[in-house]
Chain A
Amino acid sequence: MTDITTRPADGGAGGTALSLKTFAPAIFLAPAVLLLAVYLLYPLVDSFRLSMFDWNGLGSDARFVGLDNWKKLASDALFWEAAWNNILLAFFSVVVQMPIALVLAVVLDNAGKGSRILKILYFLPLLMSSVALGVLFKYFYDVTFGPLNALLDFVGLGYLAQDWLGDTRFALGAVIAVVCWQYIPFYMVLFMAGLASFPADISEAAKLDGASETTIFWKMKLPHLKGTIRTAIVLSVIGALRYFDLIYVMTGGGPEGASELMATYMYRNVFSSFQLGYGSTVASGMFIVVILIASVLMRFSKRYETEV
C-alpha cells in the first residue's frame, strides 16, 4: 500500500502482514497479467514466429523458411491492394462521417425536446452485431430482390440500379456506405457532447454583441470542437485499419478482391487456403502497418479526453 509503516508492527503477526503487503500488488495483478500474457502477448510473439514457417496447420511438417514469407509479402500485390483498400476505407470514413455527424450534432443541438428521442433512435445501429448488419445489407443491396434497387426504381432512378456487391466498381463503396451508416451516430453523439460543453454564457454574450448563430458556430463552437474532432478522426482511422466482420460477411473481400482488406486477406490465407505460415506473415504485416499508422496519428494529435 501507499505507506507500509502506518500500521503498528505487532511482533510476529506484523511480519506476515508486511510480507502480505509486499506481495499484494502481485496478487492483485496476477490474473490480469496472466491472461494478457497467454491470450495477447504470447499470440503476438507466436504470430511472428509462425510467419517464418511454411505450414498448412495440420501435420507436424512445418518447414522453417526464414524470411521467405516476408519477402513474398513485400511483393504480394494482393496484400498491398488490401492495405490500400483499408486506407480508402479510413479516408472515406473520415471524409463522409465527420461532416455528416457534425451537421446532425448541430441539428440535434438545436432541436430542443425532440433531440433525445432522435438521438436514441439514431444510436440503434451501433447495438447491432456486424454479422447482423452484414447479412441485412447483403439483402438490402441484392440485385433482384433488394429494396435499394426497388427504391431507386420507385423514385424514377431505376437506371441507377446496380449489382452493388457483385460489381468490382461498387463493392467497396457499398460496404463503406454501411460502415458510415452505422458509425455516423457514434460521432454525432461525440460531437453533441463537445457542443454541450461549450459554455452557454459565452454564446449569450456573443449574441448580445450581435453575432449570428452561424458566426458563433464557425468562429467559436467549431474551434472548441477541434480536440473532439481529432479524437474522432483517430478512432475512425484505427477502426478502419482493423475492419473485418462486416466486409467478410457482405462480400468476403470480393468480387475479385475489390473489397479485400488486410484482415480478410489474412483470414482467407489461413482458413481457406490453409497457409498458416503465410497467413501469420500477413497478420504480422497488418500489425506492423496498424501500429505504424496509429503511432504517427497519435503523435500528430494528442488525444483529448472528452466526457460524454
Chain B
Amino acid sequence: MASSPVARVAGRIAVPVLGLFWLAVTTVPFLFMVMTSFKSQQESFSSSVWALPEALDLVNYRSVLEGPFLTYFKNSVMVVVISVVLIMLISAMAAFAFARMRFRFNDALFGLIVAGMIVPIHITLVPIYLMTRQMGLYDSQFALIGPYVATSLPISVFILTEFMRQIPKELEEAARLDGCGPFAIFFKVFLPLSGPGLSTIAIYNGIMLWNEFIFAYVLTSSTGTRTLPLAIWDYQGQYTANIPAILTVVTLTSLPLVVAYAFGQEKIVKGMMAGSLKG
C-alpha cells in the first residue's frame, strides 16, 4: 500500500522497542528499591548498586516491622477508612440535592462547590493548623479527618452529581408513588443505584488520602498518631545513612496499594483517571 516496506518494518520494530524501553524506565527505580531492601547496610556501601543482594535477607523487613511501622499502618487504615466513608455519604447526599431537587441557588451553589477543586490546599494550611490547635485536635488522627473529607468533597460531589443525573426519573417517580419521601428515595433508590459512582470516588480518594503528606505532616507530630507517608519521612530523618532500611520502609508502604492493584487494575486505573480528570 502507500507505506513503503522499510517504513512498515521500522514500525513493526519500533512498537516493541519503545514499549520495552518505557517498561525499563518505569521498573528500574522500583528494581533498585526492592533489591536494596534485601541488602545489609554494609553490603549497600561496599558492593555495586546493581549487584544482586548476596542473600534474600529479610532482616530489614523484620527490624522495620518490629518497630513502630504497624502503628503508622494502623493509623493510615483508620484515617482513610473513616474519611472515605464520610466522603461517600456526605457527597452522595449533596449530589442527590444538586441532581434531583429544585431549590434556589442550586446552580450557583453547585458551581461554588465545584470551584473548590481549583483551590490549592496550601492556602488553607496555616489557618487549618491554627484551628486544629484551638480545637484541641492537634497531634491526633482525628485532626486529619476534617481536612481530608472537606478537600475531597468538591471532586466527589461533582462526579456523583453527574452520575445521579443519569439515573432514570421513572424510578424516583415510582418510589414517590409508593409513598417514599426524599430520605427514603435517597437511601432506597439513589444510594444503591450509585454503586459505580461511589466506587470511583472511594478508589480515587482512598488512594489520594493513603498517600497524603502535607496535612499529616503539619497536623500530627508523634509516632503514635502519624500515618504511613510520615513513616517514610520519620525513618529517613532517623536513619539517614541506612539506605536499605529506608527503602524497606518505602517498599512496605507501597505494598498495600500494589496488592490492591493486583486485584483490580482496571477499576483502579479508571478511578484514578476519573478523579484526576475532573479534579
Chain A residues engaging chain B, CB cutoff 8 angstroms: 1-2, 6-7, 17, 20-21, 24-26, 28-29, 31-33, 35-36, 38-40, 42-44, 46-47, 50, 57, 103-104, 107-108, 110-111, 114-115, 118-132, 135-140, 142, 145-147, 150-151, 154, 181, 184-186, 189-190, 193, 207, 210-215, 231, 235, 238, 241-242, 244-245, 249, 262-263, 266-267, 270-271, 276, 279-280, 283-284, 286-287, 290-291, 294, 306, 308
Is the Cβ of B2 less than 8 Å from the Cβ of A36? no
CB neighbours of A29 from chain B (8 A): 93-94, 97, 109
The answer to whether B150 has its CB under 8 Å from any CB of chain A is yes
Chain B residues engaging chain A, CB cutoff 8 angstroms: 1-3, 7, 11, 14-16, 18-19, 22-23, 25-30, 32-33, 36, 44-45, 48-50, 89-91, 93-94, 96-97, 100-103, 106, 109, 113, 116, 118-128, 130-131, 146-147, 149-151, 153-154, 157, 176, 181-183, 185-186, 207, 210-214, 218, 228-230, 232-233, 236, 243, 246-247, 250, 253-254, 257-258, 261, 265, 268-270, 272-274, 276-277
A140 to B93, CA, bound (A): 46
Shortest Cβ distance from residue A28 to the other chain B in the assembled complex, whole angstroms:
4
A2 to B232, CA, bound (A): 51
Cβ 8 A contact of B119, one of A40, A46, A131, A249? A40
Task: List 16 A–B pairs whose Cβ atoms lie within 8 Å, in order of A's numbering.
Answer: A1-B182, A26-B103, A46-B127, A107-B14, A115-B19, A120-B265, A126-B272, A127-B268, A129-B232, A129-B254, A131-B232, A135-B247, A139-B36, A145-B243, A212-B3, A306-B277
Is the Cβ of B151 less than 8 Å from the Cβ of A270? no
CB neighbours of B116 from chain A (8 A): 36, 40
If A28-B94, A107-B14 are given as contacts, then 17 extra A-B residue pairs at C-beta distance below 8 Å, sorted by A number, are A20-B182, A21-B182, A24-B181, A26-B103, A47-B123, A118-B23, A125-B26, A126-B272, A129-B210, A132-B229, A135-B250, A145-B243, A212-B7, A262-B122, A266-B125, A276-B126, A286-B120
Report the tally of A-B residue pairs with Cβ distances under 8 A.
283
Chain A residue at minimal CB-CB distance from B148:
A39
Given A111-B19, A130-B211, A135-B236: A17 in contact with B258 (beta carbons within 8 A): no
Given A108-B19, A126-B272, A135-B232: A38 in contact with B126 (beta carbons within 8 A): no
CB neighbours of A244 from chain B (8 A): 122, 214
